[in-house]
Amino acid sequence: MTIVRRGHRIQVLFSAEDIAKRNSQLAGDIAKRVGDGLLVVAVLKGSFVFAADLLRALYEAGLSPEVDFMSLASYGAGQVSSGQVAVLRDVEGDVRGRKIVLIDDILESGRTLAYAKDLLVARGASTVLSCVLLDKPGHRNADIEADFVGFTCPDMFVVGYGMDVAHAFRELPFVGVVESDSEKE
Ligand code: IMP
Ligand code: MG
């Protein structure tokens, strides 16, 4: 299916319905493997929609997680990773002894997630697992795999469901690909 926004045709890769179904399964998996008493740390900005939905799916799975946020940047406004990770906003709480599930939108090179995980482990978290909506396995650069993966993503730049290209398209309720021959309105 294709929709038009901002004068661009966007091909739907993962629909809102597919994502909602997968979120319930992920929450079930997390409940089984991690149990209660967990601290969810959402890596902003890209994961904010996924984190909000997954959090409510965790509630449906019977858990009562706490939530904190970390804002990390590795991309700037472009599509090519700078290879550097910067902390733009840190978690507020003490993570010592906590069972943490990091939530991110996409695992690509792995630098963002590896950086966040190392930081939380260094601060004394007892367990740091990770849950990503999308795994792009082709470009791994850091030695990390996510513990929970929503979908394997084809090697394309995707937008929507919180993810952007140059700050656009975060509001789309699905994950899609902007078609390159789209015309400006
Ligand atoms: P990594 O550090 O290379 O694993 O980069 C992961 C981060 O890059 C994700 O959290 C996203 O913010 C961003 N990213 C990677 N691929 C895409 C994409 O296709 N669309 C939007 N953002 C992406
Ligand atoms: Mg991100």
**Tens digit of each residue's pLDDT (9 = 90 or more) over 141-173:** 999 999 999 999 999 999 999 999 999 999 999
Average pLDDT over residues 127-140: 96
Domain that holds residue 32: 19-168
Assigned token pair, 125? 């978290």
- Binned at pLDDT 50, 70 and 90, residue 79 comes out as low
Q: H or E segment at 132?
A: strand 127-135
Q: What is the largest CA-CA distance in the chain?
A: 53
CA of 49 to the centre of ligand 2 (A): 12
Ligand 1, atom nearest to 43 Cα? 10
Whether 41 is covered by a domain: the verdict is yes
Q: Is the predicted pLDDT of residue 22 greater than 80, yes or no? A: yes
- Kindly report, residue by residue over 95-110, the tens digit of the pLDDT: 999 999 999 999 999 9
Whether 51 is covered by a domain: the verdict is yes
Q: For the domain that residue 83 is a member of, what is the CATH number?
A: 3.40.50.2020
Number of domains in the chain: 1
Residue nearest to atom 22 of ligand 1 (CA): 163
- Binned at pLDDT 50, 70 and 90, residue 81 comes out as low
Q: H or E segment at 148?
A: strand 148-152
- Binned at pLDDT 50, 70 and 90, residue 185 comes out as very low
Whether 47 is covered by a domain: the verdict is yes
CA of 106 to the centre of ligand 1 (A): 5
Whether 10 is covered by a domain: the verdict is no
Residue nearest to atom 9 of ligand 1 (CA): 106
User: Which residues surround the ion ligand 2 when the cut-off is CB under 5 Å?
Assistant: 46
- Mutational pocket test of ligand 1: of 163, 167, 175, the residue with most ligand atoms within 8 Å of the beta carbon: 163
Whether 3 is covered by a domain: the verdict is no
When the pLDDT of each residue in the chain is averaged and rounded to a whole number, the result is 93
Ligand 1, atom nearest to 46 Cα? 12
Whether 80 is covered by a domain: the verdict is yes
Determine how many CB atoms are found less than 10 A away from the CB of residue 128: 22
Average pLDDT over residues 67-77: 82
**Percent of the chain having pLDDT more than 70?**
92
Whether 184 is covered by a domain: the verdict is no
- Mutational pocket test of ligand 1: of 44, 106, 115, 151, the residue with most ligand atoms within 8 Å of the beta carbon: 106
Residues with CB under 6 A from ligand 1: 46, 74-75, 81, 104-112, 157-158, 163
Ligand 1, atom nearest to 157 Cα? 19
Whether 182 is covered by a domain: the verdict is no
- Binned at pLDDT 50, 70 and 90, residue 74 comes out as confident
Which letter does DSSP use for residue 6 in this model? T
